[in-house]
Amino acid sequence: MTAAPVLRLDGVSLQYGQGSTSVTALSGIDLEIRRGELVAVMGASGSGKSSLLTVAGGLVRPTSGEVIVDGQWLSSLKPGQLAALRRRHLGFVFQDFNLVPALTAIENVSLPLELDGWKTSKAHRAARDALSTVELAEQADRFPDDLSGGQQQRVAIARAVVGGRSLILADEPTGALDSTTGEVVLRMLRGRVDHGAAAILVTHDARHAAWADRIVFIRDGRIVDESAYRGVETMVGRHA
């Protein structure tokens, strides 16, 4: 593949705090993700998965190293430029959903589009489509508090993919979902990626990680191993 990566992390390290109480969350992370690629990140609790996503998404500046999104060095952007890049190119699914309680599901989903200058009617149409891909069309006008945990999670996912973002960063997006609903979300995410987006999926669930093209394992803030789809015919027979 020759296309420029959608995301590149170059020797990224991250330290929280300073002095004796500081915590090294990431050390020397190198990672490249291209269009059409879904990368899963797995690792024990506290290994640095969420930290990796927040740095990749420009929410937190790395202590050292570079983050490059769609060819732009995040360190070179002014705050306003960074915010605009995030709104247009990046969809983030937070581990704790991060929905605005005073807005309905559809308003939560259309918010980033409206902030980016879309007309409300057009933004709502796109939001409704995104909600129906996660099977929530019926709940569009409900407030987050009136939704189950799994439904809130799916609103957060719809918000991350609405408007065709090129890079989707999803932190445990299936954590609150049962097995078949989780699969609806993965199929949708996979579909976006197959249509030219790129995505990182943080998950504890091997069955969900297996939807990825590559799985990156991290331990103590370092990438320790990778597993890729090998294209091997498996032993599972299929009749003609």
Binding region for ligand ATP (CB under 6 A)? 16-17, 23, 25, 43, 45-51, 95
Buried-exposed string 66-75: b where 16+ CB fall within 10 A, e elsewhere: ebbbbeeebe
116 binds, among ligand ATP, another protein, Mg ion, none (CB under 5 to 8 A by kind): none
The whole-angstrom separation of Cα 169 and Cα 160 is 8
Buried-exposed string 207-240: b where 16+ CB fall within 10 A, e elsewhere: ebbebbbbbbbbeebbbeeeeeeeeeeeeeeeee
CB of 93 to ligand ATP, least distance (A): 13
Q: Considering the complex, state which of residue 50 and residue 152 has its C-beta at the smaller distance from Mg ion.
A: 50
- Check residue 66 for interaction with another protein (CB under 8 A): no
- Check residue 222 for interaction with another protein (CB under 8 A): no
CA dihedral (233, 236, 237, 240) positive or negative: negative
CB of 46 to ligand ATP, least distance (A): 4
Alpha helix stretches (DSSP H) within the chain = 49-56, 79-89, 105-115, 120-133, 149-161, 179-194, 206-209
- Check residue 23 for interaction with another protein (CB under 8 A): no
Q: Which of 36, 164, 205, 222 binds another protein (CB under 8 A)?
A: 205
217 binds, among ligand ATP, Mg ion, another protein, none (CB under 5 to 8 A by kind): another protein
Q: How far apart are the first and last CA of the chain?
A: 34
Q: Which of 161, 212, 218, 223 binds another protein (CB under 8 A)?
A: 212
Q: Considering the complex, state which of residue 17 and residue 117 has its C-beta at the smaller distance from ligand ATP.
A: 17
19 binds, among Mg ion, another protein, ligand ATP, none (CB under 5 to 8 A by kind): none
Kindly give, in sequence order, each residue whose CB lies less than 8 Å from that of residue 193, ignoring residues fewer than 6 positions away: 36, 37, 38, 168, 199
CB of 95 to Mg ion, least distance (A): 5
Residue 144 has what DSSP assignment? G
23 binds, among another protein, ligand ATP, Mg ion, none (CB under 5 to 8 A by kind): ligand ATP
